Amino acid sequence: MVELIETILLAVVVLSLAAGVFFMLAGAIGLLRLPDFYTRLHATGKCDTLGEVLIIFGLLLYHIYYYSPGAELSVQLVPVKLLFLICFIFFANPTATHAIMKAAYNTGVKPWKKGDRRM
Amino acid sequence: MGEKSSAKSGKGFGIFVTFCAMFLFWLLLSGMLDAIHVGAGIICSAIIAFVSHDLLVTQKWDKMLRKSGKFIIYVVWELWQILLANFDVAYRVLHPKMPIDPSIIEFDTSLRSDLAIVTLANSITLTPGTITINIDQEKGRFQVHAIAQKPADALLVDKTMQQKVAKVFMEE
């Protein structure tokens, strides 16, 4: 029974790490492939948020299972800090994306339209 | 007289709630329970609670509690939308022909309060295919960059998200 729980937990950890890496990779490919500033921000702004959160979530589960039992209080509190980090990313990432977008729009970066040449 | 005293107790309650939240946060971050660290935490939390309690506790307590309940339901829905958004972006980016058709759209909302507008703006940025560019708070006008026609229609025609945010922050 303990082995089964451990296997499921490890599977969840590996899955969330792999999904996080996949989304970060998709964001990086989008940064290279998409045609202009605004569409590139779509790729990085969204994929980075979920990618980072998934990776941190995987680390959090791993830490709870392997390091927390019988450890000092300061070690046991590490998952809480990771949880705060996740919350912070969810607030900060879209806000930063929006700030960059607004700055670009106000300085007059022209948005790409379908059929235009790549910039 | 009665009104004044109730306002006073409301202020004390606000300071107390802020103090508890700050001190809990301190304990979770420091993780050390000896006298020096806990004492420094109590002093710092007290100063912060005294100076800036009106930033955290802005309304009546029961109203805030009801709103945060609705807000949590909304956040769960939002998480699902974020997942969809990421698959959407990954699909558009990895598709050999890149099915994108960007446009900038504008729409008006009835939202006016700071928190409601921030929530809607960040939600738009996190959901499939749209990013907020500009907000005119007085008119409630949003300017949004959409990566294709379908996400733009979701904001302009369906208005699911606006309705959900309006429901959470509905003023009584």
| Domain locations along chain A | 2-106
- The rounded distance, in Å, linking the Cα atoms of B49 and B131 is 35
Q: Please tell me which of A41-50, B64-73, B161-170 the model is most confident about, judged by mean pLDDT.
A: A41-50
pLDDT, one tens digit per residue, over B21-62 is 889 989 888 888 888 989 999 999 999 888 887 777 766 667
Rounded to whole angstroms, how far apart are CA atoms B166 and B120?
9
Tell if the CB–CB gap between B89 and A34 is shorter than 8 Å. no
Which residues of A fall within a CB distance of 8 Å from B94?
26, 29
The pLDDT of residue A57: 92
Residue-averaged pLDDT of chain B: 79
Query: In terms of CA atoms, which chain B residue is nearest residue A78?
Result: B29
**Six-digit token string for A66:** 């392997």
pLDDT for the residue B59: 66
Shortest distance between the Cα of A11 and any Cα of chain B, in A, equals: 19
Q: For residue range B146-156, what is the model confidence (pLDDT) as tens digits?
A: 888 777 777 77
Tokens 């990771």 found at: A82
Identify the pLDDT of residue B54.
Answer: 77
pLDDT for residue A15? 94
Contact list in A for residue B122 (CB cut-off 8 A) is 91, 94-95, 98
Separation between Cα atoms, residue A90 and residue B119, nearest integer Å: 11
ipTM: 0.73
- The pLDDT confidence band at residue B9, using thresholds 50, 70 and 90, is low
* Contact flag B31-A45 (C-beta cutoff 8 Å): no
Exposed/middle/buried for B151, CB within 10 Å: 0-12, 13-18, 19+? Answer: buried
CA-based nearest distance A3→chain B, Å: 30
Structural contact between residues A33 and B93, judged by C-beta atoms closer than 8 angstroms: yes
B105 touches chain A (CB under 8 A): no
pLDDT of residue A10 exceeding 60:
yes
pLDDT for position B6: 46
Q: How confident is the model at residue A11 (pLDDT cuts 50, 70, 90)?
A: very high
Percent of chain A with pLDDT over 70: 96
Question: Can you tell me the distance from the alpha carbon of A78 to that of A112, in angstroms, rounded to the nearest whole number?
Answer: 44
Average pLDDT along chain A: 86
Q: Do residues A98 and B124 lie in contact, with contact meaning Cβ atoms separated by under 8 Å?
A: no
Closest CA to A13 of A69, A68, A63: A63
Q: Is this prediction's pTM over 0.90?
A: no
Comparing B129 with B35, which gets the higher pLDDT?
B35
Contacts of A51 (CB under 8 A, 6+ apart): A20, A21, A22, A23, A24, A27, B86
Could you tell me the two tokens for B10? 């409301």
Is residue B102 within 8 Å of residue B144, measured between CB atoms?
no
Whether residues A98 and B100 touch (CB distance < 8 A) is answered with no
Phi/psi of residue B142, nearest 5 degrees:
-110, 140
Q: How far apart are alpha carbons B116 and B67 in whole angstroms?
A: 11
Residue B168 CB neighbours (<10 A)? 20
CA atoms of B50 and B104, how far apart (whole Å): 45
* Crossing angle between the packed helical segments B61-94 and B114-126, to the nearest 10 degrees: 20
- Band of residue A56 on the pLDDT scale cut at 50, 70, 90: very high
